[in-house]
Chain A
């Protein structure tokens, strides 16, 4: 059997996006934190799949998803240090505004901004673990890393998120030790 051509891969991708595109774009948005970045991430994943049609296995959605998650976990766009720091400054400013009860607090928007501050791998693991409800074993298989690495990323990601969210939730972050038991009992 010959390898699939870019043409046949393109047709399969077209069908996939027609039937499952909305689920994929939602995953991409969750991974990036905005619609525009999610659209760019999904397009980048599709392009990568199209460039290597021979690697597509029987389940094209699983392959596109794997590509999507790995692009997100690898930082997808290489960012300069300034690009990494700038959202931090913006969110800190936003967080203090959000703490003002008269400013119309929207915890959900604030949480999305905080998620974007996490390093790409931690953010990806948090999204897969707590939004897509995947097990650590599944995430490890998807990202091509060990379960210990997934556990560590989830642990540190949650702790960082708790620190960042403390002003919004009006409480002190728990110490690392308080979180540890909860990160060990993955289903």
Chain B
């Protein structure tokens, strides 16, 4: 029986790999990415040398991050936030983000979004089955949305302006959860220094990457410790006392090495785990929504 199983493994992998060829551009892509990372490292090392020293003194010598209100904490927060913003900007241009959104109180539901510079695709999985998919393509001042409902075998396509999206009218289909929703916006709108209600001016805010940019830029978060997220050393940023009156609180974990966000937890609401993938052709393809299956009825 074991021989039969191993033979099946061998045959399956032979079948899977049969005829596969290496992409011609793979080596060039790898060289380009290595050079780019080297340039970023050099730039970061040059401009931030003094601040790094201050942070190292703070974090290493004391063995912990300064408490909120201490002189060092403001400087450390400014350092971490500026590096996280810079890392987000770079990643927004050259990486694909993969966001795993786990809604609170909705056991068995998982939302996964892949976002590239112009496109986002989202899948909703309930009890292990794909029940919905959605996505959008960014145009000049609007977004082309497509949503697919696998349970009812229907789909729809709409063009929505950024203003409509920000004011949340009409309500978006569940598959549009790739867009920051009311919980996320509530935090920004209730916090001093953050964009208030009303039409948006920053097109980036339709995406989670753009939302994180806004969240970092309005100084609502401050360094609140460190830890590990899925084994990665991370810095914990949490909503500061200035935002205490907001009904939503947030904890953002950023990588200690790259400063890219790893996890955002909104209370109440959900948790988003983020991965940053290289912008390979295969990863960029994940950001594009697939056409609805044949036989699905179009609603709008």
Contacts and interface: CB of A to CB of B under 8 A. Distances in A.
Contacts, number: 144
Contacts of A82: 100, 102, 110, 273
Contact of A108 (B5, B11, B37, B275): B11
A40 B286 CA distance: 13
Contacts of A89: 125, 127-129
Contact of A92 (B17, B27, B128, B232): B128
A42 B26 CA distance: 8
A66 B140 CA distance: 46
B30 A43 contact: yes
Interface residues of B, number: 49
B30 A50 contact: yes
Contacts of A13: 27, 30-31
B171 interface: no
Given A39-B282, A108-B15, A78 B231 contact: yes
Nearest to B26: A43
B100 A43 contact: no
A80 interface: yes
B12 interface: yes
A32 B55 CA distance: 39
A25 interface: yes
A143 interface: no
A92 B100 CA distance: 20
A39 B23 contact: yes
A10 interface: yes
Contacts of A40: 277-278, 280, 282-283
A88 B108 CA distance: 13
Contacts of A51: 34, 37
A86 B5 CA distance: 25
A79 B129 CA distance: 20
Nearest to A47: B30
Contacts of B273: 80, 82-83
Given A47-B30, A92-B128, A112 B22 contact: no
A26 B110 contact: no
B282 A115 contact: no
A25 B20 contact: yes
Contact of B13 (A25, A30, A46, A78): A30
B1 interface: yes
Contacts of A22: 20-22
Contacts of B33: 43, 47
A162 interface: yes
Contacts of A182: 2
A115 B5 CA distance: 12
A43 B278 contact: yes
| Of A46, A92, A115, most B-chain CB atoms within 10 Å | A46
Contacts of A158: 2, 5-6
Given A22-B22, A39-B26, A40-B277, 6 more contacts: A10-B27, A22-B21, A25-B21, A77-B275, A80-B230, A89-B127
